[in-house]
């Protein structure tokens, strides 16, 4: 039940909601938008009909125009500001031994959950460790699991660098596995969704940029991802990630213990321009 309602007093019958509907299920009848009952099932819940309406006349799925923020005259970041954020973002590998405020963590996840997803499935699970003590316990569990694999000579071929990671931890307490991050965010998705892996990575990318705009550092963590998904799978259960979920990626985050003073230049991108 979509609960598609139109304020007939304000609707001007412009038809923009109908022309922008990706499922093409909105008809204009007697100059008013209507979704026939037999096609309601094809709605993907994208809410473009609400977003595009100039008069604020459309409501669907329990949300009307007042649920959102008007974009006209909104102070969106200027392109130069966004460029600085993109170019100034760095992978952070030095963190304060301190939790990020819980309210801020909730906000970061809520905003990241607005990232686009295939078919607007939004079937992602955001598994967050918001207490550094638990992250440190998980790190011990992961390193113990790795040690068992190494001692029993069961570390699969191609994963030899995990022996170095363990050695570094034992020799000097250097945490290459989690990079000292006090928090972890693991995004996973049901394998049934339209684009599980892509959705996870896009959500994490969105999280990363928004987190860094708040001064929260982030690190994409391939080592932790491999540890959980391939080497010590008991961690997936410990984290409460459902068996039928594909693990998208692991991101560490926390308050940085250092700051970057400038952006850097990269070599020019390889572009394949089609003529």
Ligand X SMILES: Cc1cc2nc3c(=O)[nH]c(=O)nc-3n(C[C@H](O)[C@H](O)[C@H](O)COP(=O)(O)O)c2cc1C
Q: Which residues lie near ligand X (CB under 6 A)?
A: 90-91, 93, 179, 219-223
CA distances to 8, 96, 129, 142, 228 from 231, in Å: 59, 28, 20, 9, 6
Q: Which is nearer to ligand X, 153 or 265 (CB)?
A: 265
The alpha carbon dihedral of 186, 188, 194, 198 has a sign of positive
User: What number of CA atoms fall less than 13 Å from residue 29's CA on the CB side?
Assistant: 7
Q: Which is nearer to ligand X, 224 or 241 (CB)?
A: 224
Q: Which residues contact 115 (CB under 8 A, 6 or more apart)?
A: 199, 202, 203, 205, 206
The tokens describing 59, both together, are: 């409501």
Q: Which is nearer to ligand X, 123 or 175 (CB)?
A: 175
Which of 249, 240, 223 has its CA nearest to residue 142? 223
* Contact (CB, 8 A) for 33 and 8: no
* Contact (CB, 8 A) for 156 and 232: no
The least CB distance from residue 209 to ligand X, in Å, is 12
Residue nearest to ligand X (CB): 222
The least CB distance from residue 240 to ligand X, in Å, is 22
The least CB distance from residue 176 to ligand X, in Å, is 7
Q: Which is nearer to ligand X, 58 or 142 (CB)?
A: 142
The tokens describing 161, both together, are: 């660098």
User: What number of CA atoms fall less than 13 Å from residue 62's CA on the CB side?
Assistant: 1
The tokens describing 188, both together, are: 């996973």
Q: Which is nearer to ligand X, 219 or 235 (CB)?
A: 219
Q: Which is nearer to ligand X, 57 or 212 (CB)?
A: 212
Decide: helix, strand or coil at residue 73.
coil
Residue 172: its H or E element = helix 161-172
Q: Which is nearer to ligand X, 33 or 248 (CB)?
A: 248
Q: Which residue has the tokens 């500001």?
A: 81
């Amino acid at each position: 039940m979509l609960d598609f309602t139109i304020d007939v007093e304000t609707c001007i019958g412009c038809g923009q909601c109908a022309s922008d509907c990706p499922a093409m299920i909105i008809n204009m009848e007697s100059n008013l938008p209507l979704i026939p009952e037999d096609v309601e099932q094809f709605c993907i819940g994208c809410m473009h009909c609400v977003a595009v309406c100039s008069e604020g006349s459309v409501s669907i799925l329990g949300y009307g125009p007042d649920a959102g923020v008007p974009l006209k005259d909104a102070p969106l970041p200027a392109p130069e500001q966004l460029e600085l954020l993109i170019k100034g973002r760095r992978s952070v590998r030095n963190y304060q031994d301190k939790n990020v405020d819980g309210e801020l963590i909730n906000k970061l996840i809520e905003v990241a959950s607005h990232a686009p997803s295939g078919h607007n499935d939004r079937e992602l699970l955001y598994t967050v460790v918001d207490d550094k003590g638990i992250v440190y316990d998980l790190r011990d569990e992961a390193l113990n699991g790795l040690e068992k694999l190494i001692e029993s000579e069961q570390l699969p071929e191609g994963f030899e660098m995990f022996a170095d990671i363990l050695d570094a931890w034992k020799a000097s307490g250097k945490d290459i596995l989690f990079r000292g991050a006090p928090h972890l965010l693991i995004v996973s998705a049901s394998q049934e969704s339209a684009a599980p892996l892509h959705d996870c990575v896009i959500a994490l990318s969105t999280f990363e940029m928004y987190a860094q705009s708040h001064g929260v550092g982030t690190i994409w963590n391939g080592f932790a991802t491999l540890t959980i998904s391939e080497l010590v799978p008991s961690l997936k259960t410990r984290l409460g990630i459902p068996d039928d979920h594909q693990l998208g990626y692991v991101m560490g985050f926390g308050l940085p213990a250092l700051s970057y003073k400038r952006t850097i230049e990269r070599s020019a991108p390889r572009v394949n321009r089609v003529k």
